[in-house]
Amino acid sequence: YNAGDIGFVIISMSLVWLMIPGIGYFYSGLARSKNALSMIMSAFLCLVVVSVQWFIWGYSLAFSDTGSAFIGNVKYAFFRDVLGDPSPGSDNIPAIVFCIYQAMFAALTPALAIGSAAERARLLPMIIFIFVWSTVVYDVLACWTWNPNGWSYQLGGLDFAGGTPVHIASGFSSLAYALILGKRTGKGSISQEHEFKPHNMSNVVLGTALLWFGWFGFNGGSALSANLRAGMACVVTNLAASVGAITWMILDYRIDRKFSALGFCSGAISGLVAITPAAGFVGPGPAVAIGVFGGVFCNLASHMKEWLRFDDALDVFAVHGVGGYVGCIFTGVFAEKYVASLDGTEIDGGWMDHNWIQVGYQFADATAGAAWSFFITYLILFIMDKIPGLSLRVSQEVELEGLDAAEIGEQAYAY
């Protein structure tokens, strides 16, 4: 192995870890102050629960080399025989390095998804849900997409860094969580609408900064080697984020005549989400287009919750579900052979290389991922809610008091 490649992937792993507190601070700033600490804690709970789940069987279910096209088996349960062999992702790095790098993706994904349940979900059922969801939703989608035996991988679907397993999975699962829980008390009433504004925009900007920073490890690191393709992935990641931020700000300015910090942050993240599946397959020009499409479609989707009357508290579905889906489809349009070949990978390309069927493969991958995530999540939560002691939602009194005081016993702000 090349020590530089191993070092690069370990540093990328650390960057992806940093996205977990990033999403905690992002969500914390968007929530009301009485729930600020619970949002940061929820993100960290995802980290610890999934780290243990990944050790028990998560890694094996996603990446065992003798599994089926649908899900792996328990060959590598408890990290048995996961050490110095070439990894499933690349022969350039050993399995143990790939394993811990992928663990951070697995931990980040439910942290994204639970944002829609903000301010009204009980923590104990959420912890159990995170473990179960990682097993039957995330690990299944990761196997489809990245395991050489997975059906989407075999079909020829292109997903560089997690458009389907991370963003589509978290986005469509968050929609199911929001629908099962119902609206927050007072949400939708004109007299109380002002109460639901973000309480701390500086936390939102801080969270965005940590996410953007970490995304270079998320997309660049997915090359699994310190090479030209990793460099290109970082270039297009930064470009799509920048264009997404500008696009969303312009769309908001058109209505409010204000340069919204929230619009900037939402736009940057929608651009980052949309470029994720495409990062190792597209050049800088298409990255600009993907940033625009990400910003426009996610902005439109963020207004859907008013029309469809569901309470996705922190726009997880609009940004991650829709952004991931848009990114997946446009990967099929803009993928180019020359970008993938920067590290010797051979693909047929997308529409840019006159490979017209690629969008069909992307559509199959994205739609199957969206449907599986939504319906399985809905089923898990529906069953859990019927089990005594695992009711998902806090009482109205607790909701009014705030989850920080009632569920955690400490406050984000003691003044």
Residues 197-210 have a mean pLDDT of 95
Question: At 251, which helix (H) or strand (E)?
Answer: helix 228-256
252 in Cβ contact with 54 (< 8 Å): no
Look at the block and give the residue holding tokens 């199957």: 368
Q: What is the pLDDT of residue 313?
A: 83
pLDDT of residue 186 exceeding 90, the answer is no
| pLDDT band at residue 309 under the 50/70/90 scheme | confident
Q: What is the pLDDT of residue 290?
A: 97
pLDDT of residue 18 exceeding 70, the answer is yes
Q: What is the pLDDT of residue 311?
A: 83
CA atoms within 13 A of residue 10's CA, in its CB half-sphere: 11
Give CA angle at 303 (297, 306), nearest 5°. 150
Span 313-361, pLDDT tens digits: 889 999 999 999 999 999 999 999 999 999 988 999 999 999 999 999 9
Point out the least confidently predicted range of 139-153, 154-168, 186-200, 387-401.
186-200
Point out the least confidently predicted range of 108-117, 178-187, 231-240.
178-187
- Is 346 exposed, middle or buried, given 0-12, 13-18 or 19+ CB atoms closer than 10 A? exposed
| pLDDT band at residue 193 under the 50/70/90 scheme | low
Q: What is the pLDDT of residue 256?
A: 83
pLDDT of residue 406 exceeding 80, the answer is yes
Q: What is the pLDDT of residue 188?
A: 64
**CA-CA distance, 230 to 8, in Å (whole number)?**
10
> What's the token pair of residue 129?
């849900």
- The rounded mean pLDDT for the chain is 94
pLDDT of residue 306 exceeding 80, the answer is no
| pLDDT band at residue 192 under the 50/70/90 scheme | low
> What's the token pair of residue 238?
């930064």
Look at 373 and 310; give whichever has higher pLDDT: 373
| pLDDT band at residue 414 under the 50/70/90 scheme | confident
Q: What is the pLDDT of residue 191?
A: 58
Residues 112-141 have a mean pLDDT of 95
| pLDDT band at residue 190 under the 50/70/90 scheme | low
Residues 17-42 have a mean pLDDT of 95
Question: At 339, which helix (H) or strand (E)?
Answer: helix 337-340
Residues 228-256 have a mean pLDDT of 95
Point out the least confidently predicted range of 30-34, 159-163, 310-314.
310-314
| pLDDT band at residue 415 under the 50/70/90 scheme | low
Residues 50-74 have a mean pLDDT of 95
Q: How far is CA 2 from CA 12, 224, 234, 405, in A?
A: 16, 11, 21, 50
**CA-CA distance, 39 to 190, in Å (whole number)?**
25
